[in-house]
Structure 1
């Protein structure tokens, strides 16, 4: 499996890229839904807040092509991306919900998702969950396609939060990364995130009672040559 790179949305990499061309903007808008989206952007770091979620275009990797994001709401949005067939993650367009609660103070942390993704290209549809200090990254891959793979070494299989996962543990030099790859692809469903966090903390002792900051959901795109659409039909993140 290919080595996974970090996906950051708040700590942006210092890479500088040429802005997306006007043609990319036009194509991105054409690929948006028939109804007029309430927001769209083809900027590399384009972002906005809608309905309690923050949306990011987030083209953070090197060698990226064009990418445009649109949104009807914080829970219904999509991306048109045209990234070349080369290695390395190009982007992680996503919607973020802030939690800011410690694991032990959480009584519930759940999410529902419904997506439409391409049958070709190289990508994963994933949750990216961070503690407030960005020392720990927990990824939940709900589906994936093409030459992509997690960082680190295989730790075994586990059933948690309503799904069966292959678990990987690694370190990218700045933070620990725990990746849970669903053992069969899913484009819709509900995931109970809190049991996963408790398993990492209490069963494996890989982290302490961290304060969970961001729960992000999006598409980690390595390649989408020719232009492909990734649509979040519905996404909800709730905590208590």
Structure 2
């Protein structure tokens, strides 16, 4: 078992009681007891090899604040208007830096609490980058409201024991490959290596170096202010 795996499991175990026992209080005012808090749209906080990012980057954005106790336990409060276009991608990131064919058995497990109802549009997703920012692999585990992937539907594929719908296209700056879960879940395990290597083996993506691996919430609208919480996150590399 690698050091990173031991550290991830320990962090998740320590964060779980807080997320469970204090769920209501955490959703109302998590920043009061958080280790780190920021309202800066580009705010970031480093925890070991991981970085937690507020990352409010779209146009026509509203207010967004972020808090974290660790890379494994963090969340945001976002109040973005009910208009089109992605407003933000609050996330936790890790730099892998390995060739796709030699990236090892990279996988992750997450547990999140997300809002439901009207005036909401978002997805919970991994964002995996190849060759810098030339190739973007998105893995959507669940979503809500008027959101959709870039490009066109390609095929269905079973990876890591789960069924995914693959879409492929371009955002004008880089190629985008989006795997959308056929079964939405807020508590899931994802085989990241399987997704990346499937694209190369099937001629969809060239052989690349996998760099940044991110996980978070891509928020289009959250009018009135909503909470998005990452209760636990473990990354095995």
TM-score range, shorter chain: 0.7 to 0.9
**DSSP 3-state at the match of 1:191:** strand
**1:169-201 C-alpha deviation (Å, 9 max, x unpaired):** 001121100000101211002111111111100
Shift of 1:100: 0.6
- Tell me what 2:205 maps to: 207
Shift of 1:35: 6.2
**DSSP 3-state at the match of 2:198:** helix
What is the number of residues matched between the two proteins?
Answer: 210
Q: Say whether the 8 Å CA contact 2:67–2:76 is kept in structure 1.
A: yes
Tell whether 2:111 aligns with 1:114: yes
Q: Say whether the 8 Å CA contact 1:162–1:191 is kept in structure 2.
A: no
Shift of 1:235: 0.7
Shift of 1:82: 0.4
RMSD: 1.5
Distance 2:37 2:50 in 1: 15
- Tell me what 1:83 maps to: 80
- Tell me what 2:91 maps to: 94
**1:2-35 C-alpha deviation (Å, 9 max, x unpaired):** xxxxxxxxxxxxxxxxxxxxxxxxxxx9844386
**1:34-88 C-alpha deviation (Å, 9 max, x unpaired):** 8611101110100010132101100000000000000000110000000011111
Trace 1:21-100 onto structure 2 (pairs within 5 A): 31-33=28-30, 36-100=33-97
User: Which sits farther off after the overlay, 104-113 or 214-223?
Assistant: 104-113
Question: Structure 1 stretches of 5 or more lacking a match?
Answer: 1-28
Shift of 1:207: 1.9
- Tell me what 1:237 maps to: 235
Question: Structure 2 stretches of 5 or more lacking a match?
Answer: 1-25
Greater share of residues in helix: 2
- Tell me what 1:3 maps to: none
**1:108-147 C-alpha deviation (Å, 9 max, x unpaired):** 1100000000013110000000014211000000000000
**DSSP 3-state at the match of 2:115:** coil
User: Which sits farther off after the overlay, 101-110 or 82-91?
Assistant: 101-110
